Amino acid sequence: MFVDKAKVKLTAGKGGDGCVAFHREKYIASGGPSGGDGGDGGSIYLLADDGLSTLADFRYKRKYKAPDGAPGDGGRRNGKKGEPLTVRVPRGTLVRDAATGALLADVSGDAPVLLCKGGRGGWGNTHFATPTRQTPRFAKPGIPGESVEAELELKLLADVGLLGFPNVGKSSFLSVVSEAKPIVGDYHFTTVTPVLGVVRMGEGQSFVMADIPGLIEGAAEGAGLGHQFLRHVERCRMLIHILDAAGSEDRDPLEDYAKINSELAHYLPELMDVPQIIVGNKIDLAAPEQLERLRAFFADKGLPYYEMCAPIAEGTRDVVNAAAAMLASLPPIKRYEADRPQLPTEVKAGQRFTVREEEGIYFVEEADWLLRILQGCDIDDYESLQYFQRVLQSSGIIDALEKAGIAEGDTVVVYDFEFDYVR
């Protein structure tokens, strides 16, 4: 089954809690704090796997959770880090935030893509010892890992896309010029899923061709199968538009050409800028005057036009050579840049949080909404820091700290971010 859309929940591991412990050894009095740090939670990576061609696996497993980090221990022993979780997806998978629609990643390269970062482990009480606080009896808890409900969308990576009405010979052409084995038959919708084939031009020279099924009039609105598969045209560097030159199904090939291009423009206007080669197939069945009509039409428009009889490979080599020559001058396959995370324009008062004081240090906790904002801020950037300060003010956290008795110069801890309080 070909599935090119799926929804999954991805959750990185939580950081382990820091440990509160004190050194105990014979003949050593007041050994001091010795609590170790918690281990970082495991992160989630997405990796392109050329052995996968569909998102069908994600119909059965929809939740992925990376291991948590282990808590710290006494004797300054740090907890074990959570193992990273690698989720394999087909090459060309786009990952979007299901809530906002923002593009999180385009898994098209060979390197793993970090999608959800594991939470940092909490500090043990060793970190909080000072000349005036020699026996700190508190530690930092681990930070929750990032979590996202993501929509996966597969957009096949192909250099060349084959367009045309059903039964014009796209599958026959692909089977002749590549090693792909699509179903070939004399009936509509023989191909019901996109089929990829590698066209080899010689030593170290090849390109990928995709048969895009189901394009008929009204495809952009959902007619036929085109509404499912038009998205796979978007990445193609060029298109080969195949026509039934013989009009063997009582259709005019020029009308077919206009209708398919109309569907492309209706679905995504930018597709009209993708270069096309037009190919008249079934020339063995076409009348000479019909062939002359097609040649004259495309010559008048200045468009590259070729003729072939795909089943016997007549003229197919000329088409492949023309495609290879055109690809040599075109930019690489389109890759999508991830959207920058958008910080909320305002924060509502009354958001949930707690303030806890331990020996002069004030912890802001139980505020998952604030953690998401903190993760999206660059604390080294002045404007970003100013924004975070406004969030603390507008959410009521500053007022809560003052009610708790915070004084000038006291330390405030917000998850893994520390700062000194200044009025």
Report d(CA 142, CA 121) in Å as an integer: 5
- pLDDT level of residue 103 (50, 70, 90 thresholds): very high
The C-alpha atoms of residue 404 and residue 356 are separated, in whole angstroms, by: 8
- The CATH class given to the 1-154 domain equals mainly beta
Phi and psi angles of residue 399, each rounded to the nearest 5 degrees, phi first: -60, -40
Q: Which residue has the tokens 């324009």?
A: 345
Section 36-60 average pLDDT: 90
Domain boundaries in the chain?
Answer: 1-154, 160-327, 344-423
The H-or-E segment that residue 312 falls in is: none
Beta strands in 156-194 (DSSP E): 160-163
Dihedrals φ, ψ of 265, to 5°? -65, -35
- pLDDT band at 227, cuts 50/70/90? low
- Averaged confidence pLDDT in the chain: 85
Neighbours of 308 (CB within 10 A): 27
Considering only residues 219 and 360, tell me which one the structure prediction assigns the higher pLDDT: 360
Within 8 A by CB and 6+ apart from 60, the residues are none
**Would you state the torsion angle of the CA atoms of residues 154, 164, 305, 307, taken in this order, to the nearest 10 degrees?**
120
Q: Which residue has the higher pLDDT, 167 or 72?
A: 72
Fold of 160-327: Rossmann fold (3.40.50)
Most confident of 50-54, 263-267, 317-321: 317-321
Q: What is the pLDDT of residues 128-151, one digit of tens each?
A: 888 877 888 888 888 899 999 999
Q: Which residue has the tokens 């007619």?
A: 223
Query: pTM for this one?
Result: 0.76
For residue 106, list its beta bridge partners. 94
Domain 344-423 belongs in CATH node 3.30.300.350: yes
The pLDDT, as a whole number, for residue 182 is 57
Beta strands in 359-403 (DSSP E): 361-365
Q: In the prediction, which pLDDT does 202 show?
A: 77
